[in-house]
């Protein structure tokens, strides 16, 4: 493969992928978590107040979603680099149709089929790292039921090159699999994957784009959802009625959490109009609850 030094992706596309995966639907997810487990936010035996717990939840959610976003980013780059993107969902035929495994990245070029396990950083504890390797081997087995050992290249990839806590462990385990299964295996961090694939300049592009993106995002998540009430309404309006019922009927949840998230009532006024258009009785009940709560 020849190295390419042309810009692969436009910054706006890169930014759109991250923002879509990380920030969209985060409000709806938070409301579901609050409604399903309110004690996690307002329980007495917690060292944080509700506002702090809300911030903590959003930050943790964004961290998890960052990894999901970069799965899409890498897939886009692989496409631009000329690789054929293969399906990611495979069924283990030996264990029945219920045993489905999802490959983080699966792609082909020439006679080689690459399957890649993608993580953000190598900071796992002992039990987690063993679970990761077991999961990789399970995926290796399912790939061998679909492709020959001569075709396959198995890659374990960490996005963040600064953390290499378990590098020796992963190298030893992958080397053992290489010997036992007779397939090519690799462990990569950061830009090593792009150098291996023949496009080293892509990593610099990613670093530049990440640096630019981080300058544009807020320091902390906004927990006043009424500031952007029209978009908030669009995101949460079709949540199950039981979510809104839980948020609106319990005084403690409403006073300590809902009033923090919706201090001006703007979102709930839009929800009221939307619920009026519904025919089911539960929506009439929700309208009445909103009328009692939002002045």
**pLDDT (tens place) for every residue of the chain, 295 residues total:** 444 456 889 999 999 999 999 998 899 999 999 999 988 888 777 787 888 889 999 999 999 999 999 999 999 999 999 999 999 998 877 665 567 889 999 999 999 999 999 999 999 888 889 999 999 999 999 999 999 999 999 999 999 999 999 999 999 999 999 999 999 999 999 999 999 999 999 999 999 999 999 999 998 999 999 999 999 999 999 999 999 999 999 999 999 999 999 999 999 999 999 999 998 999 999 999 999 998 7
Q: Are 246 and 41 in contact (CB under 8 A)?
A: no
122 bridge partner residues = 164
Sequence spans of domains, the chain: 11-216, 229-293
Nearest alpha carbon to residue 105 among 25, 182, 159: 159
Which tokens in the block code for residue 131?
Answer: 């679970």
pTM for this entry? 0.86
Residues 20 and 65: their CA atoms lie apart, in Å, by 10
Q: Distance of CA 115 to CAs 47, 156, 173, 182, 183, Å?
A: 43, 9, 17, 15, 12
Residues 7 and 53: their CA atoms lie apart, in Å, by 41
Specify the CATH architecture of the domain 11-216. Answer: 3-Layer(aba) Sandwich (3.40)
230: burial class by Cβ within 10 Å (0-12, 13-18, 19+)?
exposed
Residues 272 and 239: their CA atoms lie apart, in Å, by 14
């Amino acid at each position: 493969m020849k190295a390419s030094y042309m810009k692969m992706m436009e910054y706006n596309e890169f930014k759109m992928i991250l923002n879509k995966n990380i920030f969209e639907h985060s409000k709806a997810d938070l409301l579901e978590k609050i409604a399903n487990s309110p004690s996690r936010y307002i329980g007495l035996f917690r060292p944080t107040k509700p506002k702090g717990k809300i911030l903590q939840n959003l930050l943790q959610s964004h961290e998890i979603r960052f990894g999901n976003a970069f799965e899409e980013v890498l897939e886009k780059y692989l496409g631009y680099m000329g690789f054929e993107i293969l399906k990611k969902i495979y069924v283990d035929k030996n264990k029945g149709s219920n045993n489905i495994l999802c490959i983080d990245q699966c792609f082909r070029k020439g006679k080689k089929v690459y399957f890649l396990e993608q993580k953000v950083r190598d900071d796992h504890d002992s039990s987690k790292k063993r679970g990761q390797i077991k999961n990789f081997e399970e995926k290796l087995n399912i790939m061998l039921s679909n492709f020959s050992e001569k075709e396959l290249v198995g890659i374990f990839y960490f996005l963040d090159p600064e953390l290499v806590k378990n590098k020796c462990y992963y190298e030893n385990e992958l080397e053992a699999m290489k010997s036992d299964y007779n397939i090519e295996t690799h462990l990569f961090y950061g830009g090593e994957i792009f150098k291996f694939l023949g496009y080293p300049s892509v990593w610099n592009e990613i670093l530049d784009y990440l640096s630019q993106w981080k300058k544009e995002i807020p320091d902390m998540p906004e927990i006043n959802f009424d500031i952007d009430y029209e978009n908030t309404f669009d995101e949460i309006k079709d949540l199950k009625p039981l979510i809104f019922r839980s948020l609106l009927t319990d005084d403690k949840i409403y006073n300590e959490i809902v009033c923090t998230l919706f201090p001006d009532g703007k979102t709930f006024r839009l929800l009221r109009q939307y619920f009026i258009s519904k025919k089911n009785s539960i929506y009439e009940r929700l309208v009445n609850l909103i009328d009692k709560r939002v002045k």
